[in-house]
Structure 1
């Protein structure tokens, strides 16, 4: 390790140790503190997010620039990934508060996404999205951590069994896609959760319509074939059930399904579930 890196680590350890007493950077100018914060932040990104050194550098960055909402939000990832969720949420809520003071929604967008997928706090996810959309009226297609915020809200409503509201929210997303010149059929998750919502309220014909429209342009959707196969099996349309369930089994054996590196989708399907439906199909086929 170079003397330069040893010096940086020594300063970081000293800074963290002194944090409860005073801020060792308070004598520096604002520009100097911002530069130092950026330096520590970049150094933290070279370390594993859950490591002690990552946190030492992040602590140092935030001592140099305690009002940096981005660094505060990013620091929450370290605790979230380590399962230390109280600390993670404390940091994330702090970042949200700092952003809102400056009429920004960056941290809130990530919080809405986290509330839906990680913490399954659907009411909180909806509340966060509504606030984002109120603040960003000129950006109705604004994204929450890479996904349209309206898609986040639609899935939260679906999970709360507010299925008609879910359908209306997701239809609005598709209409906005169309107005922007996007092909609504490209938003396959919106189609999927509209179909799931129609299924839950018993409008099976409408659910089938959405599944078929989507599969006509995107046939490699394991969960869609699985859900459609179940519907046809319940309707005793055996040939159609056989077609879609076997397609789902073929796709999942290739590793094709709704998989995310950090989350499980709500209707992610597993091979055991498909096999159970194929067994049910076999029984119905028996003379």
Structure 2
């Protein structure tokens, strides 16, 4: 299963970040765009944060100010370096020039990096209205954009709406046999937070079968605790702890994923459970 998830991420990331085919512009007679593309491709081999990398892209923009790729490529370095003002200016220009290609990306970044949930929802929904095909995955390949939209609604306190959106997308994902690495986990946590304990455990079991995580066993334990199933809760917390130490946990190279937990939280629940049992 891990190999499937890793392949999924690699494919998604490659498609989104693939360099343009300059020759296609030449074949279509778009010579200005062709020259700008060739200039942009001169960044190959240059460090993304280097002056030379940025200079080549600036030259590409001078050749063709309406070519979206160099704006987008320039923006990535600013995003990674934390210069979010420059990133926003560049990505907004890229979206202006080609909303169909860049709205989904900007929406995901608003969710992942800025916790701009309302802005992310707006971008994802506008993208969905623009196209007549599936809006696809997030930049990191971990989520369908509709799952990300559901998580945005959760963050805004609209859990019922979040559940509806995520349930609908998971059904579509199941038909394609291509579930996101954390889809069931997020849905299960939403059920847990809205008091649907048995449904939560049912979905967490699906997550266990698909991609077991420390977070998954931790949240199962919380549901079992509320149901008064102390022994089952203890077993789940022990599993969560072992999984965490085995590094089988939620991960994002850049940010803290929603519903992620830490070892201290598992140990805190174990301590509280042990104290309660000893008092009885």
Instruction: Give the TM-score taking structure 1 as reference length.
Output: 0.80
Higher gyration radius (CA): 1
Separation of aligned partners in 1, 2:44 and 2:65: 18
Instruction: Map 1:134-213 onto structure 2 (within 5 A).
Output: 134-136=129-131, 138-145=132-139, 146=141, 147-178=143-174, 181-183=175-177, 186-213=179-206
- The partner residue of 1:131 within 126, 130, 136 is 126
| Per-residue CA distance 1:193-235 (angstroms, 9 max, x = gap) | 22222222222222222112332x1352221111111222343
2:127–2:135 CA contact under 8 A, matched in 1: no
- The partner residue of 1:255 within 247, 259, 268 is 247
1:125–1:153 CA contact under 8 A, matched in 2: yes
Partner of 2:71: 72
Structure 2 residue 235 is matched with structure 1 residue 243: yes
Question: How far did 1:36 drift?
Answer: 3.7
Separation of aligned partners in 2, 1:76 and 1:219: 33
The higher-RCO structure (CA 8 Å, 6+ apart) is 2
| Per-residue CA distance 1:65-112 (angstroms, 9 max, x = gap) | 221112211211111111111110000001001013xxxx22111101
Partner of 1:112: 107
Instruction: Map 1:29-48 onto structure 2 (within 5 A).
Output: 31=31, 33-48=32-47
Separation of aligned partners in 2, 1:149 and 1:206: 24
Question: How far did 1:141 drift?
Answer: 5.0
1:151–1:170 CA contact under 8 A, matched in 2: yes
Q: Could you list the runs of 5+ residues in structure 2 that have no partner in the other structure?
A: 1-28
Separation of aligned partners in 2, 1:251 and 1:258: 11
1:70–1:107 CA contact under 8 A, matched in 2: no
Partner of 2:216: 224
| Per-residue CA distance 1:102-148 (angstroms, 9 max, x = gap) | xxx22111101101110101011111111111112x32352332331
Runs of 4+ in 1 over 6 A off after TM superposition: none
- Taking a change above 3 Å as real, the CA distance of residues 92 and 209 of structure 1, as seen in their structure-2 partners, is same
| Per-residue CA distance 1:21-78 (angstroms, 9 max, x = gap) | xxxxxxxx962x4344233322324222222222112211211222111221121111
Partner of 2:26: none
- The partner residue of 1:278 within 245, 270, 279 is 270
Q: Could you list the runs of 5+ residues in structure 1 that have no partner in the other structure?
A: 1-28
- Taking a change above 3 Å as real, the CA distance of residues 219 and 72 of structure 1, as seen in their structure-2 partners, is closer
Structure 2 residue 268 is matched with structure 1 residue 267: no
- Taking a change above 3 Å as real, the CA distance of residues 30 and 211 of structure 1, as seen in their structure-2 partners, is closer
Separation of aligned partners in 2, 1:187 and 1:81: 24
1:141–1:173 CA contact under 8 A, matched in 2: no
Q: CA RMSD in A?
A: 2.0
What secondary structure is seen at the aligned counterpart in 1 of 2:124? helix
